[in-house]
Structure 1
Amino acid sequence: MSTLFAFFHHLCAFTLVAAVAVEFTLIRQELTVSTARRLQVTDIVLGTAAAALFVVGLLRVLFFEKGYDYYLHCYAFLAKIALFVALGALSVIPTQEFLSWSASIKAGQAPVLDAERKRLVASIIHGELAAIVVILLCAAVMARGGWV
């Protein structure tokens, strides 16, 4: 069962990374109805993957791996979780932006996104990609028993 949950955890993590990479690529393109729709769908995939990753990770901590007490004393794990939560909070800004486009998209019109707002959303997505790299470092350190 532990192996199955490890697989699900990795599947969710890779899906999340792919979705962030797709968002990063799409937000840099010209904003058309098609691009906006793809950003909305990708953001749904991202949110679903993040929620599933959190739930599966929590189940692994509580029932399938080294035990709750070990993880509470592992600084790499705590850093990883703190970054994940911070990313989740920051990702609300792009999500709200993408959701606000629904009326325009239904009307067949490209949403309007001013340059400053576009820079903010793109910067957040870029920051998410950078933070994922740090999360991966924490995961590697944690897997080797470091920072305990």
Structure 2
Amino acid sequence: MSTLFAFLHHLCAFTLVSALAIEFALIRQELTVASARRLQVTDLVLGIAAGALLVVGLLRVFFFEKGAAYYWHSHAFLTKFGLFVIVGLLSIIPTREFLSWSGAIRAGEAPVIEAARRRRVTMVIHIELAAVVIILLCAAIMARGGWV
């Protein structure tokens, strides 16, 4: 069972990273009805992957791996978990922007986004991607038993 949950954890993590990369690429292009719709769908996939990653990860912590006491005393885990929460909170910014486009998309029009708002959404996605890199570093440190 532990192997299955490790697999699910990795699947969710890779899906999340892929969705972030797709958002990063799409937000930099000219906004069309099709690309705006793709951004909305990609953001939905990102949210589902993040939720599943959290649930599966916590199940691993409490039931399938070394036990909660080990993880809650690991600085690498706490850093990784804290960054995950920060990324989740930051992701509210692009999600709200993408959801605000629903009316225009339903009307068959490309949403209009001010340059400053686009820069803010792009910057948030950059920060999310950078945080994911640090999360991966923490995972490697955890795998080696570091920062305990």
1:27-42 to 2 correspondences below 5 Å? 27-42=27-42
The RMSD of aligned alpha carbons is: 0.3
Residue of structure 2 in register with 1:9 after alignment: 9
Deviation at 1:91, TM superposition (A): 0.4
Normalized against structure 2, the TM-score is what? 0.99
Give ranges in structure 1 of 5+ residues lacking alignment. Answer: none
Residue of structure 1 in register with 2:19 after alignment: 19
C-alpha separation in 2, matches of 1:114 and 1:32: 14
Deviation at 1:40, TM superposition (A): 0.1
Normalized against structure 1, the TM-score is what? 0.99
C-alpha separation in 1, matches of 2:30 and 2:132: 26
Equivalenced residue count is 148
Residue of structure 2 in register with 1:43 after alignment: 43
Deviation beyond 3 Å, 4+ runs, structure 1: none
Residue of structure 1 in register with 2:82 after alignment: 82
Question: Percentage identity across aligned positions?
Answer: 72
C-alpha separation in 2, matches of 1:97 and 1:112: 11
Asked if 1:67 corresponds to 2:70, the answer is no
1:63-102 per-position Cα deviation (integer Å, ceiling 9, x unaligned) = 0000000001000000000000000000000000000000
Give ranges in structure 2 of 5+ residues lacking alignment. Answer: none
Deviation at 1:133, TM superposition (A): 0.3
Q: Secondary structure at the match of 2:109?
A: coil
C-alpha separation in 2, matches of 1:76 and 1:125: 23
Asked if 1:98 corresponds to 2:98, the answer is yes
C-alpha separation in 1, matches of 2:94 and 2:83: 17
Residue of structure 2 in register with 1:107 after alignment: 107
1:117-128 to 2 correspondences below 5 Å? 117-128=117-128
